[in-house]
């Protein structure tokens, strides 16, 4: 059974997020779909929704704190208000656009894992590393596990090559298989693929050996497309 996750990034309003969640919830409920589905809205659109048990709302990011003086950040006090117990950590845009260091990421991981949060932990290499070959790629990826307890029970991994994110260029099946099998050989955790997953290729990608689901940005933001993605990966 595939795990399907939608990362809204900086898209959707409170209203459109609520419409999206309720629509997906009705879809899962009516069609008795039991895939694990995650939605990561913006922090301002987090809310309490009555959903089926296999639809989970998560935070795209939060600071390693309950509360305090961290301007612009949210902590567990704000997440608790909506019962949010799932978080993305190490996303490529946090690493490469917001310049979060591995040390900060590891600190965040420790904080949220100690609280029992489900963590979707992202790893992936930029283009200049990929061009150096598989060995360098894996070396780069393994550095992203420094300080991370990969035995943590509530851990899901997501391999997202930076060059494939939001570019429309999906990694080839061979690329995905070689990186996934190497990571899987080291870490026995569910492993999602992310990077230009689309309605048309999601089933093929999620059927590959070592791929347990997909973390999707762009192609998941229209609710009809996201429902089609869920439909396309049914019964895998
Ligand atoms: O979190 C999702 C990934 O960054 C993939 O984004 P994308 O589907 O727009 O390439």
* pLDDT tens-digit series, residues 108-146: 999 999 999 999 999 999 999 999 999 999 999 999 999
Q: What is the mean pLDDT of residues 195-201?
A: 97
Q: What is the mean pLDDT of residues 94-120?
A: 98
Q: Are 44 and 14 in contact (CB under 8 A)?
A: yes
Q: What is the mean pLDDT of residues 157-164?
A: 97
Residue list, ligand 1 pocket, CB within 6 Å: 7, 91-92, 160, 165-166, 194-197, 215-219
Q: What is the mean pLDDT of residues 63-77?
A: 98
- Taking CA atoms only, the protein residue closest to ligand 1 atom 4 is 165
Query: What atom in ligand 1 is closest to the CA of residue 40?
Result: 1
Q: What mean pLDDT, rounded, does the chain reach?
A: 97
Q: What is the mean pLDDT of residues 205-231?
A: 98
- Taking CA atoms only, the protein residue closest to ligand 1 atom 8 is 217
Contacts of 62 (CB under 8 A, 6+ apart): 43, 73, 74, 75, 76, 78, 79, 87, 108, 112
The pTM assigned to this predicted structure is 0.97
**Which residues sit opposite 88 in a β-bridge?**
120
| 205 — pLDDT class (breaks 50, 70, 90) | very high
**Which residues sit opposite 133 in a β-bridge?**
none
Q: Which residues are annotated as a binding site?
A: 7-9, 166, 196
| 235 — pLDDT class (breaks 50, 70, 90) | confident
* Angle, alpha carbons 175-197-18 (nearest 5°): 150
Q: Catalytic residue at 96?
A: no
Domains along the chain?
3-232 (3.20.20.70)
Q: What is the mean pLDDT of residues 26-43?
A: 96
The half-sphere exposure of 16 on its side-chain side, counting CA atoms within 13 A, is 10
**CA 68, 92, 24, 234 torsion: positive or negative?**
negative
The catalytic position among 12, 91, 100, 125 is: 91
Between CA 91 and CA 199 the distance in angstroms is 22
Query: What atom in ligand 1 is closest to the CA of residue 195?
Result: 10
Q: Is the pLDDT of residue 147 over 90?
A: yes
């Amino acid at each position: 059974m595939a795990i399907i996750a939608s990362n809204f990034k900086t898209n959707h309003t409170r209203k459109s997020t609520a419409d999206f969640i309720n629509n997906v919830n009705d879809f899962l409920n009516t069609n008795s779909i039991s895939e694990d589905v995650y939605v990561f809205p913006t922090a301002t659109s987090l809310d309490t929704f009555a959903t089926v048990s296999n639809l989970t709302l998560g935070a795209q990011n939060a600071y390693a704190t309950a509360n305090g003086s961290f301007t612009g950040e949210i902590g567990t006090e704000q997440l608790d208000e909506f019962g949010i117990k799932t978080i993305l950590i190490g996303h490529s845009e946090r690493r490469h656009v917001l310049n979060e260091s591995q040390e900060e990421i590891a600190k965040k991981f420790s904080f949220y894992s100690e609280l029992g949060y489900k963590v979707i932990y992202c790893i992936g290499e930029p283009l200049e590393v990929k061009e150096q070959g598989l060995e360098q790629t894996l070396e780069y990826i393994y550095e992203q596990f420094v300080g991370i307890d990969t035995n943590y029970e509530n851990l899901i991994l997501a391999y997202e090559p930076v060059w494939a994110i939001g570019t429309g260029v999906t990694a080839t099946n061979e690329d995905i298989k070689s990186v996934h099998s190497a990571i899987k050989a080291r870490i026995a955790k569910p492993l999602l693929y992310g990077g230009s997953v689309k309605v048309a290729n999601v089933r093929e990608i999620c059927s590959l050996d070592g791929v347990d689901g997909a973390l999707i940005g762009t192609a998941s933001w229209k609710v009809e497309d996201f429902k089609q993605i869920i439909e396309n990966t049914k019964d895998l």
